[in-house]
Amino acid sequence: MALSQALFDAIVDGKAQLAQSLVEEELEAGADPLALVSATMIPAMDEVGKLFHEEEYFVPELLLSARAMKAAMTPLRPLLAAKGAKPAGVVVAGAVKGDLHDIGKNLVTSMLEGAGFQVIDLGADVTPESFVAAIREHRPQIVCLSALLTVTMESMRTTIAAIKAADLRREVKVLVGGAPLSERYATEIGADGYGATASDAVALARRCVGLSN
Ligand code: B12
């Protein structure tokens, strides 16, 4: 699908209401929900990141764009979730301690729900102790950790260590993702899988519960 320039601009300019109504219009015109996210909305957030990096944007602009992205996701979330089939497994997900970036994690959880997983979303800035408590309570097969900052990648290692110390490591598969991560880092911290996109998260999760992709 081609980029929708108006939607792209609305997210980059931080216009939440406009972004949401443009998504609604695109959907009415028959746009594919996933294509809207991957061809326009994620590239728009990448552009925001670039502007921030170049010091044209500062935190207030980031926040406005993040708000626009969230508003744009509102009509899409139920559609992404409706795409899936049978219940496939239980997932506990969260952005790790110190990390407030939750847009990518929200996309991962929506897609997992769409693929039939029951997702317990712990939100952002989740401590290792909260992950451990949620594993004890919900007994998931999979734990998804998300990090967007190089400084919070270390929280993933600490979280995996805490799961191990609580003697729960053998019960769950740990999947990690987020822009600064790599396959190599995932292996180094003892994760079971790394995914670069929300679609990868679904493919990995399906594999973890023995479903073919
Ligand atoms: C929006 C944003 C914010 C918003 C977040 C709002 C929110 N509710 O999420 C706000 C304003 C709060 C913010 C704050 C900060 N930010 Co910021 N932010 C961004 C920005 C522009 C976009 C992130 C985003 O949403 N991307 C879109 C989503 C869809 O992509 P994603 O998160 O990568 O997720 C995808 C994949 O990674 C993957 N995935 C994600 N999680 C998982 C998990 C699993 C298991 C799997 C398999 C896959 C997976 O799937 C997703 C979908 O495909 C990025 C730049 C960028 N282009 O990434 C900077 C960026 C991440 N921020 C940055 C910085 C520096 C900060 C601040 C420190 C700024 C400051 N000085 O205060 C603070 C830190 C706050 C904190 N403690 O977390 C830097 C990080 C640099 C670094 N290497 O550490 C970046 C890269 C900007 C830059 N170019 O410098 N930020």
What distance in Å separates the CA atoms of residue 138 and residue 124, rounded to the nearest whole number? 18
Residues 139 and 184 reside in one and the same domain = yes
96 bridge partner residues: 126
Task: Say how many Å lie between the CA of residue 63 and the centre of ligand 1.
Answer: 11
Output the CA angle 47-26-111, nearest 5 degrees. Answer: 70
Task: Say how many Å lie between the CA of residue 148 and the centre of ligand 1.
Answer: 4
Amino acid 85: pLDDT: 44
Q: Which atom of ligand 1 is nearest to the CA of 65?
A: 1
| DSSP for residue 52 | H
47 is in which domain, residue-wise?
5-80
Residues 38 and 96 reside in one and the same domain = no
Q: Which of 27, 45, 80 is the last residue of a domain?
A: 80
What distance in Å separates the CA atoms of residue 105 and residue 162, rounded to the nearest whole number? 21
Q: Where are the alpha helices (DSSP H) in 54-171?
A: 59-73, 77-82, 103-114, 128-138, 150-165
Task: Say how many Å lie between the CA of residue 1 and the centre of ligand 1.
Answer: 24
Q: Which atom of ligand 1 is nearest to the CA of 46?
A: 57
| Structure tokens, 44 | 């728009």
Q: Which atom of ligand 1 is nearest to the CA of 102?
A: 9
What backbone torsions phi and psi does residue 9 show, to the nearest 5 degrees? -65, -40
Residues 43 and 136 reside in one and the same domain = no
Phi-psi sector, 206: left (phi>0), alpha (psi -120 to 50), beta = alpha
Confidence band for 142, pLDDT divided at 50, 70 and 90: very high
Residues 74 and 92 reside in one and the same domain = no
* DSSP-derived 3-state class of residue 180: coil
Cβ(73) – ligand 1 distance below 6 Å: no
Mean pLDDT score, 172-197: 97
Cβ(84) – ligand 1 distance below 6 Å: no
Q: In the structure, how many helices (H) and strands (E) does the chain have?
A: 11, 5
Number of domains comprising the chain? 2
User: pTM of the full predicted structure?
Assistant: 0.87
Is 213 within a domain? no
CA-nearest residue for atom 56, ligand 1, is: 49
* DSSP-derived 3-state class of residue 204: helix
| 171 or 81, higher pLDDT | 171
Task: Say how many Å lie between the CA of residue 212 and the centre of ligand 1.
Answer: 31
Residues 111 and 58 reside in one and the same domain = no
Task: Say how many Å lie between the CA of residue 206 and the centre of ligand 1.
Answer: 25
Is pLDDT above 60 for 105?
Answer: yes
Pocket mutation for ligand 1, best pick of 67, 101, 125, 175 (most atoms within 8 Å of C-beta): 101
Q: Per residue in 55-103, pLDDT tens?
A: 999 988 988 998 999 899 999 988 877 654 455 899 999 999 999 999 9
